[in-house]
Chains A and B, each alone.
Chain A
Amino acid sequence: MGKALEISRLCVGYPRRQVIDDLSLPALACGTITAVVGPNAAGKTTLLRALAGLLPAGGEARYDGGNILKLKPAQRARLVTYMPQALPQGVALTVIEAVMTALRVSSAGRDASGRTIQACAGAVLDRLGIGHLEMSAIDELSGGQRQLVSLAQAIVRRPAILLLDEPTSALDPAHQIGVMAAVKDHVASDGAVAMVVLHDLNLALRWADTVVLLTEGGVRAVGRAEDALTSAVLSDAYGVVARVEQSSLGRPYVLFDRIVGP
Chain B
Amino acid sequence: MMPAPETPPPWTHPMPLGAGPQTVRDQRMRPYLDMVRRRRFLVASMAGILVVSFLLDVVTGPVDMGFGQLIGALFGLEGVTPSETVILWSVRLPQALTAVLVGAALALAGAEMQTILDNPLASPFTLGVSAAGSFGAALAVILGAGLPGLPPIWLVPVNAFLFAFGSVLLLQALAARCGGGSDRLILFGIAMVFTFNALVALTQFVASESALQQFVFWTMGSISRTGWTEVAVLALAVAVAFPASFAVRWQLTALRFGEDRARSFGVPVARLRLVALLRVSLLAALAVAFVGTIGFVGLVAPHIARLLVGEDHRFFLPASVLTGAAVLSLASLASKLLVTGVLLPIGIVTSLVGIPVFFALIVGRRSG
Contact = CB atoms under 8 A, between A and B. Distances in A.
A137 B309 CA distance: 12
Contacts of A94: 35, 310
List the 4 closest A-B pairs by CB distance, nearest first: A77-B266, A123-B10, A123-B16, A82-B264
A105 B2 CA distance: 28
Interface residues on B, range: 35 or more
Given A77-B265, A88-B257, A156-B11, 9 more contacts: A78-B266, A82-B260, A82-B261, A83-B261, A84-B260, A96-B32, A106-B265, A127-B3, A127-B10
A116 B15 contact: yes
A174 B264 contact: no
B68 interface: no
A120 B310 contact: no
Contacts of B183: none
A181 B16 contact: no
Interface stretch (A185-193, A205-213, A220-228, A247-255): A185-193
A84 to B, nearest CB: 5
18 contacts: A49-B260, A52-B264, A54-B260, A74-B266, A76-B266, A77-B263, A81-B265, A93-B310, A93-B312, A101-B250, A110-B250, A119-B25, A123-B16, A124-B10, A127-B10, A129-B2, A181-B5, A189-B9
Contact of B1 (A54, A106, A178): A178
A115 B30 CA distance: 11
A49 B259 CA distance: 12
A105 B266 contact: yes
Contacts of B14: 116
Interface in A171-218: 174, 177-178, 181-182, 185-186, 189-190
B120 to A, nearest CB: 7
A207 to B, nearest CB: 12
A72 B9 CA distance: 30
A245 B31 CA distance: 49
B201 to A, nearest CB: 36
Given A102-B254, A182-B9, A53 B263 contact: yes
A91 B311 contact: yes
Contacts of B268: 73-74
B263 A120 contact: no
Interface residues of A, number: 60
Interface string A52-92: 11100000000000000000011011101111101110111
A107 B29 CA distance: 23
Interface in B3-53: 3, 5, 8-12, 14-18, 25, 28-29, 31-32, 35
Nearest to B251: A105
Contact of B266 (A49, A73, A118, A123): A73
A122 B28 contact: yes
Contacts of B16: 119-120, 122-123
Contacts of B267: 105
A97 interface: yes
Interface string B116-127: 001010000000
B265 A118 contact: no
Nearest to B368: A139
Contacts of B258: 84, 86-88
B11 A115 contact: no
A135 interface: yes
A44 interface: no
A124 B11 contact: yes
Contacts of A3: none
* Interface of A, helix, strand, loop or mixed by DSSP: helix
Interface of B: 1-3, 5, 8-12, 14-18, 25, 28-29, 31-32, 35, 118, 120, 181, 250-251, 253-254, 256-258, 260-268, 306, 310-312
Contact of A123 (B11, B31, B251): B11
A129 B1 contact: yes
A73 B263 contact: yes
B310 A105 contact: no
Contacts of B264: 52-54, 77, 80-84
Contacts of B262: 105
B355 to A, nearest CB: 23
Nearest to B267: A105
Contacts of A110: 250
Given A91-B256, A126-B10, A177 B32 contact: no
B18 A119 contact: yes
A96 B2 CA distance: 19
A134 interface: yes
A30 interface: no
Given A91-B256, A105-B266, A186-B11, A123 B261 contact: no
A33 interface: no
Contacts of B9: 127, 182, 185-186, 189
Given A92-B310, A94-B35, A153-B257, A189 B265 contact: no
Q: Which of A88, A98, A116, A135 has the most CB of B within 10 A?
A: A88
B245 to A, nearest CB: 15
Nearest to A89: B181
A88 B256 contact: yes
B308 to A, nearest CB: 10
Nearest to B269: A73
Contact of B261 (A76, A84, A181): A84
A129 B2 CA distance: 6
A181 B8 CA distance: 12
A93 B253 contact: yes
Contacts of B10: 123-124, 126-127
Contacts of A81: 264-265
A1 to B, nearest CB: 15
